[in-house]
């Protein structure tokens, strides 16, 4: 595989994360439930927020899938697993301990709990799972889920990257006829939303902050 940097994908990633930062700032001002809310809400802001909400997570997983494709194309399974742990597990642990804990601390202060300081609160961060307790990985659920999916899917990835793979060859031939055939892949997602989401509502376990 060509090792040239894909700056187009880099820029898509940068733009998407910039939008997500603005999206989560907006959560303080829309009527929906959120951990901390501004005293004055902005009703019209919910419309651009609803627009972003429809595609913000799917596009993140698509970009992550592209990164997985490029990373595994020139690595062994062991090297890929090590790279995923380094890039995802370490930031997940560090972020939970350093970034999420202050969010829970502010949440508890807003609820009226009394702590002399964040240092005083920090031991309580490890007492029980949020929301009954304090421990949460917040928005970093994405890193953990991505890590688990990447590791579990390694056998599938290795199968698909084999030369002259019949599955890849079939879809490649299919897409050469028209790139618009890609839109057919929307159908499984649509069916999942229609029939599975009502039975299995969204729950990002222990996330507390960051379920939206």
User: Of 74, 98, 124, which marks where a domain is finished?
Assistant: 74
Residues sharing a CB contact under 8 Å with residue 134, sequence separation 6 or more, in sequence order: 104, 108, 124, 125, 126, 127, 128
In this structure, the answer to whether residues 144 and 157 fall within a common structural domain is yes
pLDDT per residue as tens digits for the range 120-173: 999 999 999 888 889 999 888 889 999 999 999 999 888 888 878 888 888 888
Beta-bridged to residue 15, according to DSSP, are none
In this structure, the answer to whether residues 36 and 104 fall within a common structural domain is no
User: Of 59, 74, 89, which marks where a domain is finished?
Assistant: 74
pLDDT per residue as tens digits for the range 24-48: 899 889 988 777 788 889 999 999 9
* Confidence band for 210, pLDDT divided at 50, 70 and 90: very low
In this structure, the answer to whether residues 35 and 59 fall within a common structural domain is yes
In this structure, the answer to whether residues 149 and 82 fall within a common structural domain is yes
Question: Structural domain of residue 48, as residue ranges?
Answer: 1-74
What's the whole-model pTM score?
0.77
What string of H, E and C letters represents the secondary structure of the chain? CCCCCCHHHHHHHHHHHHHHHHHHHHCCCCCCCCCCCCCCCCHHHHHHHHHHHHHHHHHHHHHHHHHHHHHHHCCCHHHHHHHHHHHHHHHHHHHHHHHHHHHHHHHHHHCCCCCCCHHHHHHHHHCCECCCCCECCHHHHHHHHHHHHHHHCHHHHHHHCCCCCHHHHHHHHHHHHCHHHHHHHHHHHHHHHHHHCCCCCCCCCCCCCCCC
In this structure, the answer to whether residues 83 and 161 fall within a common structural domain is yes
In this structure, the answer to whether residues 139 and 82 fall within a common structural domain is yes
In this structure, the answer to whether residues 125 and 145 fall within a common structural domain is yes
Most trustworthy range by pLDDT among 23-37, 51-65, 111-125: 111-125
């Amino acid at each position: 595989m060509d090792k040239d940097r894909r700056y187009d994908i880099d820029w898509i990633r940068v733009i998407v994360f910039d939008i997500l930062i603005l999206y989560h700032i907006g959560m303080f001002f829309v009527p929906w439930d959120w951990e901390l809310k501004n005293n004055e809400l902005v009703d019209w802001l919910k419309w651009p927020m609803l627009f972003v909400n429809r595609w913000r997570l799917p596009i993140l997983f698509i970009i992550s899938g592209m990164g997985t494709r490029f990373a595994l194309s020139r690595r062994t399974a062991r090297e890929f697993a090590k790279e995923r742990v380094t890039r995802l597990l370490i930031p997940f642990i560090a972020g939970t301990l350093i970034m999420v804990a202050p969010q829970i601390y502010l949440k508890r202060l807003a609820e009226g709990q009394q702590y002399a300081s964040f240092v005083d609160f920090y031991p309580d961060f490890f007492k029980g799972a949020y929301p009954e307790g304090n421990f949460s990985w917040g928005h970093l659920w994405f890193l953990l889920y991505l890590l688990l999916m990447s590791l579990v899917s390694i056998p599938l990835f290795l199968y698909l990257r084999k030369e002259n793979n019949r599955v890849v060859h079939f879809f490649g031939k299919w897409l050469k006829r028209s790139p618009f055939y890609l839109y057919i892949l929307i159908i499984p997602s649509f069916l999942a939303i229609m029939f599975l989401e009502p039975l299995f509502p969204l729950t990002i376990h222990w996330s507390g902050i960051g379920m939206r």
